[in-house]
Amino acid sequence: MGRRFDPKTGKESYRYKCAACANIFKMTEIQADHIDPVVSIDDGFIDWNEYIKRLFCEADNYQVLCVACHGIKTDNERKQRKKK
């Protein structure tokens, strides 16, 4: 994360590095991703208690991904769950 001057607005703004592609993005172009998926790839949906526990996890289980990389990661996780 770092601040950069935005010539369009004439102001400084924060920029974030995608953990997957390593490109730099504005806040509106990134999403917080659960490193360990909320719904386990191996076990699928277990119950609501486990779902909520995994949803509200510690900060070290989050990473910054750009919208495109987050979509790809999510799609891959869904495909892996369907195979099991």
Residue whose C-alpha is closest to residue 25's, from 59, 60, 70 = 70
pLDDT at 1 over 80: no
Whether this prediction's pTM lies above 0.75 is answered by yes
Q: Is the pLDDT of residue 17 over 90?
A: yes
pLDDT of 84 strictly over 80 = no
pLDDT tens track for 22-73: 999 999 999 999 999 999 999 999 999 999 999 999 999 999 999 999 999 9
Identify the pLDDT of residue 15.
93
Query: Cα(16)–Cα(69) distance, rounded to whole angstroms?
Result: 13
Report residue 53: phi and psi, to 5°: -60, -45
Residues 71, 18: Cα–Cα separation, whole Å: 13
Given the structure tokens 């953990």, which residue do they identify?
19
Give residue 34's domain range.
Answer: 2-83
- For 15, other C-beta atoms within 10 Å of its C-beta total 17
Provide the number of structural domains found in the chain: 1
pLDDT score, position 80: 96
Helix or strand (DSSP H, E) at 68: helix 67-83
Q: How is residue 58 written in tokens?
A: 């510690």
